[in-house]
């Protein structure tokens, strides 16, 4: 998704530059709101920082896949680790 917004900014496609640059912040706001709803009390941490970490990591992982930096398994493992850090680990 972030790649599509970036490409649109470069090419001048159907999404305006303002929309393109606002999209990651809007996505981080949605994630932060979800973190606030699911995490309460002393474990709540900083939902904005957690959301920023998730959004930036997703963009970086996608870019790494496009450049051939990693296989499809590496991002899955990293996202699972990241979510455990942000949301707290869960029993499986």
Query: What is the mean pLDDT of the segment spanning 59-76?
Result: 74
Share of the chain above pLDDT 70, in %: 67
Please indicate, yes or no, whether the overall pTM of this predicted structure exceeds 0.75.
no
pLDDT digits (tens, 9 = 90+) for 13-55: 666 667 667 778 888 898 899 888 887 777 678 889 988 888 8
Task: Show the DSSP H helices in the chain as ranges.
Answer: 2-11, 17-38, 47-66, 73-87
Q: What angle do CA 74, 55, 4 make, to 5 degrees?
A: 90
**pLDDT value of position 90:** 58
């Amino acid at each position: 998704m972030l790649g599509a917004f970036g490409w649109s900014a470069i090419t001048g496609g159907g999404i305006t530059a303002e929309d393109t640059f606002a999209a990651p912040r809007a996505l981080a706001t949605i994630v932060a709101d979800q973190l606030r709803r699911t995490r309460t009390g002393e474990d709540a941490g900083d939902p904005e920082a957690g959301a920023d970490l998730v959004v930036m990591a997703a963009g970086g992982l996608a870019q790494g896949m496009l450049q051939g930096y990693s296989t499809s398994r590496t991002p899955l493992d990293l996202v699972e680790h990241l979510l455990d850090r942000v949301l707290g680990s869960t029993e499986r």
